[in-house]
Homo-oligomer: A and B are copies of this chain.
Amino acid sequence: MILHGYWRSGAAYRVRIALGLKGLAYDQVNHDLRTGAQAAAGYTALNTQHLVPTLVADDTVLTQSSAILEWLEETHPAPPLLPADATARAIVRAMVAIIGADTHPLHNLRVLKALASDLNADPIAVQRWAARWIGDGFAALEPLIAQYGNGFAYADTPTLADCFLVPQLYSAERFSLDLTPYPRLVAAGEKARALPAFAAAHPSRQPDADQA
Protein backbone atom coordinates (compact mmCIF):
# COMPACT_ATOMS: atom_id res chain seq x y z
CA MET A 1 0.00 0.00 0.00
CA ILE A 2 1.04 3.58 -0.65
CA LEU A 3 -0.03 6.39 1.65
CA HIS A 4 -0.07 9.83 0.10
CA GLY A 5 0.36 12.24 2.98
CA TYR A 6 2.23 15.10 4.56
CA TRP A 7 4.08 14.92 7.84
CA ARG A 8 2.02 17.60 9.57
CA SER A 9 -1.40 16.62 8.19
CA GLY A 10 -3.59 15.55 11.07
CA ALA A 11 -5.71 13.43 8.72
CA ALA A 12 -2.68 11.55 7.32
CA TYR A 13 -1.42 11.06 10.89
CA ARG A 14 -4.68 9.21 11.73
CA VAL A 15 -4.13 6.80 8.85
CA ARG A 16 -0.49 6.19 9.81
CA ILE A 17 -1.63 5.27 13.33
CA ALA A 18 -4.30 2.86 12.09
CA LEU A 19 -1.94 1.19 9.62
CA GLY A 20 0.53 0.73 12.46
CA LEU A 21 -2.07 -0.68 14.85
CA LYS A 22 -3.14 -3.16 12.15
CA GLY A 23 0.49 -4.10 11.55
CA LEU A 24 0.32 -3.19 7.86
CA ALA A 25 3.41 -2.15 5.90
CA TYR A 26 3.17 0.81 3.53
CA ASP A 27 5.24 3.25 1.54
CA GLN A 28 4.84 6.99 1.78
CA VAL A 29 4.53 9.58 -0.96
CA ASN A 30 4.46 12.99 0.61
CA HIS A 31 3.12 16.26 -0.76
CA ASP A 32 4.20 19.55 0.77
CA LEU A 33 0.91 21.29 1.51
CA ARG A 34 2.74 24.55 2.22
CA THR A 35 3.84 24.86 -1.39
CA GLY A 36 0.60 23.53 -2.90
CA ALA A 37 2.33 20.40 -4.22
CA GLN A 38 -0.88 18.43 -3.69
CA ALA A 39 -2.56 20.41 -6.50
CA ALA A 40 -0.34 18.79 -9.15
CA ALA A 41 -2.33 17.09 -11.89
CA GLY A 42 -1.02 13.63 -11.14
CA TYR A 43 -2.29 13.77 -7.57
CA THR A 44 -5.62 15.37 -8.48
CA ALA A 45 -6.36 12.25 -10.51
CA LEU A 46 -6.16 10.29 -7.25
CA ASN A 47 -7.89 12.81 -4.98
CA THR A 48 -10.50 15.17 -6.43
CA GLN A 49 -10.19 17.41 -3.36
CA HIS A 50 -6.40 17.54 -3.72
CA LEU A 51 -6.17 16.93 -0.01
CA VAL A 52 -4.20 14.31 1.87
CA PRO A 53 -4.41 11.47 2.74
CA THR A 54 -5.03 9.07 -0.13
CA LEU A 55 -4.37 5.37 0.36
CA VAL A 56 -3.65 3.32 -2.73
CA ALA A 57 -4.03 -0.44 -2.22
CA ASP A 58 -3.55 -2.45 -5.41
CA ASP A 59 -6.06 -0.87 -7.80
CA THR A 60 -8.11 0.70 -5.03
CA VAL A 61 -7.82 4.45 -4.43
CA LEU A 62 -9.23 5.53 -1.09
CA THR A 63 -9.68 9.09 0.16
CA GLN A 64 -10.92 10.75 3.36
CA SER A 65 -9.35 9.49 6.57
CA SER A 66 -12.64 8.41 8.16
CA ALA A 67 -13.53 6.31 5.09
CA ILE A 68 -10.00 4.87 4.95
CA LEU A 69 -10.11 3.84 8.60
CA GLU A 70 -13.51 2.17 8.21
CA TRP A 71 -12.16 0.32 5.14
CA LEU A 72 -9.09 -0.84 7.08
CA GLU A 73 -11.38 -2.07 9.85
CA GLU A 74 -13.54 -4.01 7.39
CA THR A 75 -10.69 -5.49 5.34
CA HIS A 76 -8.16 -6.06 8.16
CA PRO A 77 -10.34 -6.66 11.22
CA ALA A 78 -7.57 -7.66 13.65
CA PRO A 79 -6.93 -6.03 16.01
CA PRO A 80 -10.36 -4.38 16.06
CA LEU A 81 -10.48 -0.59 16.27
CA LEU A 82 -14.24 -0.51 16.81
CA PRO A 83 -16.12 -2.33 19.58
CA ALA A 84 -18.43 -5.21 18.67
CA ASP A 85 -21.64 -3.73 20.07
CA ALA A 86 -23.59 -1.34 17.82
CA THR A 87 -24.20 1.25 20.52
CA ALA A 88 -20.55 1.22 21.55
CA ARG A 89 -19.52 1.60 17.91
CA ALA A 90 -21.83 4.62 17.63
CA ILE A 91 -20.20 6.24 20.65
CA VAL A 92 -16.70 5.72 19.23
CA ARG A 93 -17.87 7.10 15.88
CA ALA A 94 -19.41 10.12 17.62
CA MET A 95 -16.05 10.80 19.27
CA VAL A 96 -14.44 10.46 15.83
CA ALA A 97 -16.90 12.94 14.32
CA ILE A 98 -16.49 15.50 17.12
CA ILE A 99 -12.86 15.72 16.02
CA GLY A 100 -13.11 14.75 12.36
CA ALA A 101 -16.13 16.86 11.45
CA ASP A 102 -16.51 19.60 14.07
CA THR A 103 -12.93 20.37 15.10
CA HIS A 104 -10.15 19.60 12.64
CA PRO A 105 -11.84 20.84 9.42
CA LEU A 106 -12.23 24.27 11.01
CA HIS A 107 -8.52 24.79 11.41
CA ASN A 108 -6.71 22.80 8.73
CA LEU A 109 -4.20 24.61 6.56
CA ARG A 110 -6.57 25.49 3.71
CA VAL A 111 -9.05 27.08 6.13
CA LEU A 112 -6.43 29.04 8.02
CA LYS A 113 -5.12 30.36 4.71
CA ALA A 114 -8.66 31.37 3.72
CA LEU A 115 -9.22 33.22 6.99
CA ALA A 116 -6.23 35.39 6.12
CA SER A 117 -6.92 35.77 2.39
CA ASP A 118 -10.73 36.07 2.40
CA LEU A 119 -11.40 37.69 5.78
CA ASN A 120 -8.15 39.58 6.41
CA ALA A 121 -7.66 37.78 9.71
CA ASP A 122 -4.27 38.54 11.26
CA PRO A 123 -2.07 35.76 12.69
CA ILE A 124 -3.30 36.30 16.25
CA ALA A 125 -6.94 36.05 15.16
CA VAL A 126 -6.13 32.92 13.17
CA GLN A 127 -4.44 31.32 16.19
CA ARG A 128 -7.46 32.19 18.38
CA TRP A 129 -9.84 30.76 15.78
CA ALA A 130 -8.04 27.41 15.77
CA ALA A 131 -7.76 27.28 19.55
CA ARG A 132 -11.44 28.15 19.96
CA TRP A 133 -12.67 25.19 17.95
CA ILE A 134 -10.17 22.74 19.40
CA GLY A 135 -11.27 23.86 22.86
CA ASP A 136 -14.93 23.39 21.95
CA GLY A 137 -14.23 19.90 20.63
CA PHE A 138 -12.19 18.88 23.65
CA ALA A 139 -14.85 20.29 26.00
CA ALA A 140 -17.39 17.98 24.33
CA LEU A 141 -15.05 14.98 24.40
CA GLU A 142 -13.88 15.30 28.00
CA PRO A 143 -17.18 14.12 29.61
CA LEU A 144 -17.52 11.33 27.03
CA ILE A 145 -14.02 10.04 27.78
CA ALA A 146 -14.74 10.35 31.50
CA GLN A 147 -17.91 8.29 31.01
CA TYR A 148 -16.74 5.69 28.53
CA GLY A 149 -12.95 5.62 28.65
CA ASN A 150 -10.94 3.21 30.69
CA GLY A 151 -7.38 4.20 29.94
CA PHE A 152 -8.03 4.82 26.25
CA ALA A 153 -10.68 7.21 24.94
CA TYR A 154 -13.22 4.39 24.78
CA ALA A 155 -12.75 1.40 27.10
CA ASP A 156 -9.36 -0.25 27.55
CA THR A 157 -7.98 -0.80 24.04
CA PRO A 158 -7.20 1.65 21.24
CA THR A 159 -10.09 2.52 18.91
CA LEU A 160 -10.68 4.87 16.04
CA ALA A 161 -11.34 7.52 18.69
CA ASP A 162 -7.67 7.38 19.75
CA CYS A 163 -6.56 7.49 16.10
CA PHE A 164 -8.34 10.84 15.85
CA LEU A 165 -7.56 12.12 19.36
CA VAL A 166 -3.78 11.90 19.24
CA PRO A 167 -3.36 13.98 16.05
CA GLN A 168 -5.80 16.52 17.44
CA LEU A 169 -3.68 16.81 20.60
CA TYR A 170 -0.67 17.47 18.37
CA SER A 171 -2.63 20.32 16.73
CA ALA A 172 -3.72 21.63 20.11
CA GLU A 173 -0.09 21.91 21.17
CA ARG A 174 0.83 23.70 17.96
CA PHE A 175 -1.91 26.26 18.65
CA SER A 176 -0.91 26.59 22.33
CA LEU A 177 -4.25 25.46 23.72
CA ASP A 178 -4.39 25.24 27.52
CA LEU A 179 -5.15 21.55 28.15
CA THR A 180 -5.74 21.75 31.89
CA PRO A 181 -9.56 21.65 31.53
CA TYR A 182 -9.34 18.22 29.84
CA PRO A 183 -7.50 15.88 32.23
CA ARG A 184 -9.22 12.66 31.14
CA LEU A 185 -8.69 13.44 27.47
CA VAL A 186 -5.01 14.26 28.04
CA ALA A 187 -4.51 11.07 30.04
CA ALA A 188 -6.09 8.99 27.27
CA GLY A 189 -3.91 10.70 24.70
CA GLU A 190 -0.75 10.07 26.72
CA LYS A 191 -1.60 6.41 27.10
CA ALA A 192 -2.13 6.03 23.38
CA ARG A 193 1.00 7.99 22.46
CA ALA A 194 3.10 5.57 24.45
CA LEU A 195 2.19 2.70 22.10
CA PRO A 196 4.68 1.99 19.29
CA ALA A 197 2.10 2.41 16.50
CA PHE A 198 1.23 5.89 17.72
CA ALA A 199 4.85 6.87 18.37
CA ALA A 200 5.99 5.76 14.90
CA ALA A 201 3.20 7.80 13.30
CA HIS A 202 4.25 11.07 14.95
CA PRO A 203 4.87 13.89 12.45
CA SER A 204 8.45 14.42 13.60
CA ARG A 205 9.30 10.84 12.64
CA GLN A 206 8.10 11.06 9.03
CA PRO A 207 10.60 11.19 6.15
CA ASP A 208 9.42 14.61 4.95
CA ALA A 209 9.50 16.25 8.41
CA ASP A 210 11.31 19.54 8.77
CA GLN A 211 14.62 19.16 10.56
CA ALA A 212 14.42 20.54 14.10
Contact = CB atoms under 8 A, between A and B. Distances in A.
A60, A68, A100, A125 interface centre (most CB from chain B within 10 Å):
A100
Interface of A is mostly: helix
A49 B129 contact: no
Contacts of A86: 71, 74-75
Nearest to A129: B118
Given A86-B74, A102-B105, A125-B119, A67 B48 contact: no
A128 B70 CA distance: 34
A136 B100 CA distance: 18
Interface of A: 48-49, 51, 60, 62-68, 70-71, 74-75, 86-87, 89-91, 93-94, 96-98, 100-102, 104-106, 111, 114-115, 118-119, 121, 125, 128-129, 132, 136, 139-141, 143-144
Contacts of A62: 87, 90, 94
Q: How many copies does the complex hold?
A: 2
A93 B119 contact: no
B119 A115 contact: yes
19 contacts: A48-B140, A48-B143, A49-B140, A60-B90, A62-B94, A64-B94, A64-B98, A67-B90, A67-B94, A67-B96, A70-B90, A70-B93, A101-B101, A101-B105, A102-B105, A106-B111, A118-B125, A119-B119, A119-B121
